[in-house]
């Protein structure tokens, strides 16, 4: 196993331990505080770096703050806020650059065998590849965001609305938290993706929650 892969594995294992600690609490206050002060600020920062509207993420953050203060929030309210926020989160977390590069390369290969048609419709092979790459990456981003938001919002909202996090779905919560790390990573240069993802994991793991 390479050193970067080992580092990633170690950080993800540490994050699992962090999640497990939440499941031992009798109340969900630590989890709500963690979401409000650690996870969601990372998503908000990523949105701001990408020029995205972070209103939905901030709304969910405010709900967690209210929960920390002892306010009971119904499941339906959590679900409504979480689904909207998670669409933003998973859109930010999708590594669209990878899809774009693959689609762009595929389009250039297609254009090479259909040069006359492509140049007539798009002006050049490069223009066609740019168009196809952008269209495909945007479509994949939206599909990824909607599907994941729908699934994760239901699971997370049941957890957020419960009086105790005991018995929480650790796999689902790990997947959700990793999305925050990927959102943070994707807000930086593509070449920094792995290093920034690990930086995000480290932040999620090491930030103290009292």
Give the model's pLDDT for residue 77: 97
CA angle 40, 51, 99 (to 5 degrees): 90
Q: Is pLDDT of 46 > 90?
A: yes
- What pTM was computed for the model? 0.85
Give the model's pLDDT for residue 66: 96
Percent of the chain exceeding pLDDT 70 equals 93
**Domains identified in the chain, total number:** 1
- The mean per-residue pLDDT over the stretch 82-111 comes to 84
Q: Is 50 exposed, middle or buried (0-12, 13-18, 19+ CB in 10 A)?
A: middle
Structure confidence at residue 96 as a pLDDT band (50, 70, 90):
low
Hey, what's the torsion of the CAs at 143, 186, 77, 71, to 10 degrees?
170
Q: Who has greater pLDDT, 62 or 5? A: 62
Q: Is pLDDT of 209 > 60?
A: no
Range of the domain at 31: 3-206
What is the chain's mean pLDDT, rounded? 87
Q: Is pLDDT of 2 > 70?
A: no
d(CA 169, CA 101): 35
Lowest mean pLDDT, pick from 72-76, 78-82, 110-114, 189-193: 110-114
């Amino acid at each position: 196993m390479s050193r970067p892969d080992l580092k990633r594995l170690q950080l993800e294992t540490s994050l699992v331990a962090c999640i497990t600690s939440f499941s031992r609490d009798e109340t969900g206050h630590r989890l709500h505080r963690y979401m409000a002060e650690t996870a969601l600020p990372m998503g908000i920062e990523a949105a701001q770096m990408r020029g995205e509207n972070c209103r939905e993420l901030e709304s969910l953050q405010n709900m967690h703050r209210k929960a920390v203060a002892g306010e009971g929030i119904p499941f339906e309210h959590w679900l409504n806020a979480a689904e909207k926020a998670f669409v933003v989160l998973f859109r930010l977390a999708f590594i669209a650059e990878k899809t774009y590069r693959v689609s762009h390369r595929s389009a250039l290969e297609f254009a090479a065998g259909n040069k006359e048609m492509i140049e007539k419709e798009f002006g050049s092979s490069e223009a066609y590849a740019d168009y196809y790459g952008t269209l495909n990456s945007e479509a994949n981003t939206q599909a990824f965001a909607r599907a994941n938001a729908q699934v994760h919002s239901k699971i997370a909202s049941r957890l957020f609305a419960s009086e105790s996090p005991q018995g929480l779905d650790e796999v689902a919560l790990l997947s959700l938290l990793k999305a925050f790390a990927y959102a943070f990573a994707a807000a930086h240069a593509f070449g920094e993706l792995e290093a920034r993802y690990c930086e995000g994991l480290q932040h999620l793991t090491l930030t103290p929650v009292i």
